[in-house]
Amino acid sequence: MAADPPPSPTGARPFPEPRARRSGRLSRLYPSTVGRIPGQRGARVARVAPSVVRRLWPLRRPALSSAVAALALAGSGVLILHLVQRQTGTAGLLVGLGLALLPLPFVLGSLAWLNQTARVPLRHSLFCLAWGACAATTVAIMANGWASDFLIAHRGARGETWGSEFATPLIEEVAKGSALLMLLLPLRRRHRCDAERPCGRLRRLLWHRQGGPERPVALFRPAPAGRQRARSRPRTLAAGAVLGGVTASGFAFTENALYLGRAFTADRQARLDAIGLGRTPSLRDFDGTVHTFVLRALLSPFAHPLFTALAGIGLAVTLTTGRRWAARLGAPAGLLLAMGLHGAWNAAAGLGTDGFLLVYGLVMVPCFAALVCFAVWAQTRRTRQPTGPG
């Protein structure tokens, strides 16, 4: 560690070299949010010591905040299991969980491949997975039930259609996107800085040598007039896609368990009724379960990850770009695109087999192909450009 700088001739107290802290590490995890000064690649980055209030605030402690989040997610997990068990029964719950688990490794494996570019920490991925599987599904089941009852009571059959095509995508995408907002929102505080008020409590100082004693230099500087504003780097965009995809994977797992459990319970009851009527049991008695598994686990395992990944990319653009128009349009455009695709997917279920295949081929496949191209592009940029520290 370098020696402390000598006292200033003006009597001002010099800055001591700050210690590295465990909290607020997103700037080191996603270096696209950290401004750089040319020629200072190896400079050390630190943060100004926080105020006494922030030191005493309990939730600023990583261990305590992690424990609170774990307890909240565990409570919502118990609640969602109870809600699903009420609709499927114990046997249906177990069968639904087992069948819903089959496509999950393939989806998470694809996101892990993209995470080679994003390098999202494991703790963030686990939080998003638990949030989507527990908290987001709990909110979605309760809010969807209330919204459906309200719309049906006021609009009848048309209200049910509105609930499926408009209310459900809005509720579910907002519930899933809340986890992305909690993890990506600190990026804005570390990235935005203007000339009059340079980043306030969250500003960072860069310590470096320039032919003499060390002195603090603001890490974030406003872009000079006439110079092109900074763009979001591929790693930041990939981080938004990975966080959104992992959250949606957990959500899709619980939702698949619910629908598969319902289908199995209905098929089981129909089979018992058929046996009571003297019919010979066969595997055709579980056609409903097989149809649901093929539709949700084989044809569309990436549907929910696709929707929320678009919202995550838009949010990452808004929070990290230096372009004003992109910052204003990124998050709304990503969320609206996610809700629009979600609504089209829900509407396709009521169009019959031909209508469903048409929507699947003309809408879902091109959007998924575009997301795959984005992942390949991000990987290519990662291999071409050196990554920053962290």
Domain membership flag for residue 48: no
Domain membership flag for residue 27: no
Q: Please give the structure tokens belonging to residue 338.
A: 């996610």
Domain membership flag for residue 41: no
Distance in angstroms (rounded) separating the CA atoms of residues 113 and 108: 9
Distance in angstroms (rounded) separating the CA atoms of residues 136 and 176: 6
Backbone CA torsion sign across 243, 245, 250, 251: positive
Kindly state the average pLDDT of the residues 48-67: 56
Kindly state the average pLDDT of the residues 267-285: 75
Domain membership flag for residue 206: no
Residue 247 in this model has a pLDDT that exceeds 90: yes
Model pLDDT, residue 244: 95
Report the amino acid identity of residue 65. S
Closest of 48, 339, 346, 24 to residue 172, by C-alpha: 339
> Does residue 307 contact residue 326 with C-beta atoms inside 8 Å?
no
**Taking phi first (over 0 means left), then psi (-120 to 50 degrees means alpha), and beta for anything else, what does residue 389 get?**
beta
Residue found under tokens 């001591």? 16
Mean residue pLDDT of the chain comes to 76
The predicted-structure confidence for 325-349, as pLDDT tens digits, reads as follows 888 899 999 999 999 999 999 998 8
Distance in angstroms (rounded) separating the CA atoms of residues 80 and 168: 17
Dihedral angle over CA of 120, 233, 114, 67, nearest 10: 20
Q: How many alpha carbons lie under 13 Å from residue 243 in its C-beta half-sphere? A: 30
Residue 20 in this model has a pLDDT that exceeds 80: no
| pLDDT band, very low/low/confident/very high, at 101 (cuts 50, 70, 90) | very high
Domain membership flag for residue 349: yes
Q: Please give the structure tokens belonging to residue 37.
A: 């000064």
Q: How many helices (H) and strands (E) does the chain have?
A: 14, 3
Kindly state the average pLDDT of the residues 44-49: 40
Residue 123 in this model has a pLDDT that exceeds 80: yes
| pLDDT band, very low/low/confident/very high, at 136 (cuts 50, 70, 90) | very high
Domains held by the chain: number: 1
Please, which residues bridge with residue 207 across strands?
44, 216
Domain membership flag for residue 226: no
Domain membership flag for residue 58: no
Distance in angstroms (rounded) separating the CA atoms of residues 285 and 273: 11
Distance in angstroms (rounded) separating the CA atoms of residues 310 and 307: 6
What is the value of pTM for the model shown? Answer: 0.74
| pLDDT band, very low/low/confident/very high, at 7 (cuts 50, 70, 90) | low
> Does residue 144 contact residue 168 with C-beta atoms inside 8 Å?
yes
Question: Which range marks the domain in which residue 260 is found?
Answer: 77-194+234-384
The predicted-structure confidence for 214-243, as pLDDT tens digits, reads as follows 443 332 233 344 444 455 678 889 999 999
- Backbone φ and ψ for 327, nearest 5 degrees, come out as -65, -30
Domain membership flag for residue 228: no
